[in-house]
């Protein structure tokens, strides 16, 4: 079933053209989409999509929904009558405030040329998910500081505009004596929701915006992962302080919980990015793998696929690699057209990578080709393959190993 490695090390003379195909309406490979979700599983699994603003995907974390029972319980404890309509309106105000806060970040980020990303919204702000298929940008603490401070600036601007509108539209509304957020005075909630959001995010508690400024400062002289871990440690200290303050006000307890969870997610994301940029294909590539021939029938190819763990296969003719094909494609063709030959269903357009290439670069190539296999070559000899399946598995293991090693080195 599997051709010996020494017989596969022929020269790859007949590489197809490596021209990238750009199409706005192309359909993403389902396996690749699954890989992206697994890469940021903690963020995306527990969130729902909301839309896109300035090319940024907005997602709402399920913890946002806990505001409904939390506010309802708090208002009943304060002997306030919160109707479902007013409760929904207050939640909508908090959500709109968080979105406006992130729009401030996204606008400055776009002007700064940062990569596209997704943002998972919490009531205290958003957790960033960078697009791993885009090139990593060079760290710049001044740029990162501007992006971080844009969010609180947007919140303060909304609060100021809300106060002016309330003053003229609802003159009897009392805005300033009580900073509490309740359903009894919604214009008051608009102003104070944004003021609280700006004030909390200016704290130097990562991943709040003040903590991002602190991480940018640490990043001037530290490795990005080390800077992130130090900022996260400080953020955990603030989370503990908020937990203690929750004895007096349950809102602080909620903020502490959100801050702790968001810090954990951001730290994991930083470790994943470190793996992407520093680990090379030769460290994780498969060197014992099955190949197919263009002359193999689809039934024979499926029989080979049943006896191995691969989902994707290089197609070899003599000493030349002439294409790639997936188990899914073989199955689809057998169901729709019946038996045929591998050469009729294989993809003749594929990328290759040298063994010294980083995982980040490999992931971008897989994304550009909408494929899930990347041949690894050394001086035009096929020496291994990287599949999306083994890439995601290896990244998860390497990230966990690195996290444990860094934890052991901490004092």
pTM for the model = 0.64
Residue 32 belongs to what H/E stretch? helix 30-39
The tens digit of pLDDT for each residue in 204-213 reads 998 899 999 9
* Through-space distance between the first and last CA atoms of the chain, rounded to whole angstroms: 51
- Decide if 274 contacts 130 (C-beta within 8 A): no
The tens digit of pLDDT for each residue in 87-102 reads 889 999 999 999 999 8
User: What's residue 202's pLDDT?
Assistant: 94
Stretch 49-55: mean pLDDT, rounded? 81
User: What's residue 196's pLDDT?
Assistant: 92
Stretch 14-31: mean pLDDT, rounded? 34
b/e per residue, 169-206, with b = 16+ CB within 10 A? eeeeeebeeeeebbbebbbbbbbbbbbbbbebbbbbbb
Residues 183 and 305 both lie in one domain: no
User: What's residue 388's pLDDT?
Assistant: 75
Identify the weakest region by mean pLDDT among 135-139, 197-201, 332-336: 135-139
Identify the weakest region by mean pLDDT among 2-6, 88-92, 299-303, 310-314: 2-6
Q: Is residue 39 part of a domain?
A: no
Stretch 319-327: mean pLDDT, rounded? 85
Q: Which of 278, 301, 324 is the last residue of a domain?
A: 278
Q: pLDDT grade, residue 151 (50/70/90)? A: very high
Between residues 341 and 13, which one has the greater pLDDT? 341
Stretch 352-371: mean pLDDT, rounded? 80
Q: Indicate whether 33 pLDDT > 60.
A: no
| Domain ranges, residue 117 | 46-278
Q: What percent of the chain has pLDDT over 70?
A: 81
Residues 313 and 383 both lie in one domain: yes
User: What's residue 244's pLDDT?
Assistant: 92
Closest among 250, 251, 133 to 199, alpha carbons compared: 251
User: What's residue 175's pLDDT?
Assistant: 72
Q: Which of 252, 278, 304 is the last residue of a domain?
A: 278
User: What's residue 400's pLDDT?
Assistant: 66
Rg from Cα positions in the chain: 26
User: What's residue 24's pLDDT?
Assistant: 31
Residues 269 and 329 both lie in one domain: no
Between residues 24 and 389, which one has the greater pLDDT? 389
Closest among 167, 215, 220 to 191, alpha carbons compared: 167
Residues 311 and 230 both lie in one domain: no
Q: Where are the alpha helices (DSSP H) in 117-249?
A: 141-169, 186-201, 209-218, 224-245
Between residues 180 and 34, which one has the greater pLDDT? 180
Residues 114 and 89 both lie in one domain: yes
The tens digit of pLDDT for each residue in 109-133 reads 888 876 657 788 888 887 776 655 5
User: What's residue 200's pLDDT?
Assistant: 93
Residues 196 and 110 both lie in one domain: yes
User: What's residue 3's pLDDT?
Assistant: 41
CA distances from 408 to 267, 274, 395, 400 (A): 16, 17, 20, 12
Q: Give the CATH number, domain containing residue 378.
A: 3.10.580.10
- Decide if 252 contacts 245 (C-beta within 8 A): yes
Residues 222 and 234 both lie in one domain: yes
Q: What is the DSSP letter of 53?
A: E
Q: Give the chain's mean pLDDT.
A: 78
* Strand, helix or coil for residue 378: strand
- What does the block give as tokens for 325? 């094909």
Residues 258 and 313 both lie in one domain: no
Q: Which of 231, 251, 278 is the last residue of a domain?
A: 278
Residues 57 and 141 both lie in one domain: yes
User: What's residue 29's pLDDT?
Assistant: 43
Q: What is the tally of structural domains in the chain?
A: 2
Q: What percent of the chain has pLDDT over 90?
A: 21
The tens digit of pLDDT for each residue in 372-395 reads 788 898 877 888 888 877 777 777
Q: In what order do the strands lie in the sheet with 373-378?
A: 353-354, 373-378, 381-387
């Amino acid at each position: 079933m599997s051709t010996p490695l020494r017989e596969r090390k022929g020269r790859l003379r007949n590489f197809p053209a490596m021209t990238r195909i750009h199409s706005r309406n192309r359909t993403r490979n389902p396996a690749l989409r699954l890989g992206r979700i697994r890469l940021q599983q903690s963020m995306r699994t527990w969130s729902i999509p909301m839309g896109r603003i300035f090319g940024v995907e907005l997602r709402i974390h399920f913890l946002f929904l806990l505001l409904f029972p939390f506010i309802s319980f708090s208002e009943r404890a304060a002997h306030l009558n919160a109707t479902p309509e007013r409760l929904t309106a207050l939640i909508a105000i908090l959500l709109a405030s968080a979105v406006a806060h992130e729009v401030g970040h996204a606008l400055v980020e776009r002007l700064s040329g940062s990569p596209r990303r997704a943002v998972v919204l919490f009531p205290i702000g958003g957790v960033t998910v960078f697009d791993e298929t885009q090139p990593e940008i060079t760290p710049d603490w001044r740029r990162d500081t501007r992006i971080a401070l844009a969010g609180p600036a947007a919140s303060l601007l909304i609060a100021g505009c809300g106060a002016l509108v309330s003053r003229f539209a609802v003159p009897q509304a009392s805005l300033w004596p009580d900073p509490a957020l309740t359903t009894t005075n919604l214009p008051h909630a608009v102003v104070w929701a944004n003021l609280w959001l700006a004030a909390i995010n200016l704290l130097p508690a990562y991943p709040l915006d003040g903590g991002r400024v602190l991480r940018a400062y640490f990043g001037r002289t530290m490795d990005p992962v080390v800077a992130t871990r130090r900022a996260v440690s400080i953020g955990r200290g603030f989370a503990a302080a908020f937990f203690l303050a929750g004895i007096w006000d349950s809102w602080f307890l909620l903020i502490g919980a959100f801050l702790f969870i968001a810090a954990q997610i951001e730290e994991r994301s930083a470790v994943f990015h470190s793996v992407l940029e520093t680990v090379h294909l030769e460290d994780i590539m498969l060197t014992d793998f099955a190949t197919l021939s263009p002359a193999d029938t689809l039934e024979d190819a499926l029989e080979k696929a049943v006896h191995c763990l691969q989902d994707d296969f290089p197609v070899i003719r003599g000493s030349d690699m002439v294409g790639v094909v997936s188990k899914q494609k073989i199955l689809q063709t057998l169901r729709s057209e019946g038996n045929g030959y591998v050469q009729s269903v294989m993809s003749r357009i594929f990328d290759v990578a040298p063994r010294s290439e980083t995982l980040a670069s490999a992931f971008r190539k897989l994304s550009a080709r909408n494929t899930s296999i990347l041949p690894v070559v050394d001086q035009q000899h096929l020496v291994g393959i990287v599949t999306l399946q083994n890439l995601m598995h290896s990244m998860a293991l390497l990230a966990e190993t690195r996290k444990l090693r860094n934890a052991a080195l901490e004092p």
